């Protein structure tokens, strides 16, 4: 692993397009600013680990009973065909 020393206000450039700047150092907390193109996902490592753990916990036997919900609409998940669509949509990031 490459280890560099940086002072607050100094930056590192990766691949000519990702800039990592040390914004502030407060005790044992380092504030890092990241400028990256929108096609480069930037997340805290914990998010990946959280989702991995969550998936592992969610894997189930198909015979498991489903929970009974009180307040959620009972609409069925549409088949994965092109015609059916939910009422709400995600937003897609554009280049």
Partner 1 sequence: MKCAEPIERETETPAALPANQIRLPMGLLGFEQIKDYVLLVNPAEAPFAWLQVEANVSLAFIVIDPFLVLPGYQPNIPQGDVEFIGLKEPNDALLLNIVTVHGPNRATVNLKGPIVINRVTRVGKQVILANASEYSIQHSLPVAETAA
Residues that bind partner 1 (CB under 8 A): 38-41, 43, 47-48, 50-62, 64, 66-82, 84-95
Task: Label residue 22 exposed, middle or buried (CB < 10 Å: 0-12, 13-18, 19+).
Answer: middle
The pair phi, psi for residue 45, each rounded to 5°, is -60, -35
**Of 3 and 72, CB closest to partner 1:** 72
**Of 7 and 57, CB closest to partner 1:** 57
Smallest gap, in angstroms, from Cβ of residue 88 to partner 1?
Answer: 4
Q: How far apart are CA 34 and CA 56, in angstroms?
A: 30
**Of 28 and 39, CB closest to partner 1:** 39
Smallest gap, in angstroms, from Cβ of residue 80 to partner 1?
Answer: 5
Q: How far apart are CA 43 and CA 32, in angstroms?
A: 12
């Amino acid at each position: 692993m490459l280890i560099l020393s940086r002072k607050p206000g100094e930056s590192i450039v990766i691949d000519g397009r990702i800039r990592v700047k040390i914004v502030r150092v407060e005790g044992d907390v380092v504030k890092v600013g990241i400028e990256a193109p929108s096609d480069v996902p930037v997340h805290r490592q914990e998010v990946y680990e959280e989702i991995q753990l969550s998936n592992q916990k969610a894997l189930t036997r198909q015979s498991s009973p489903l929970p009974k919900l009180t307040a959620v609409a009972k609409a069925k998940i549409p088949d994965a065909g092109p015609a059916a669509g939910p009422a709400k949509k995600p937003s897609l990031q554009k280049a």
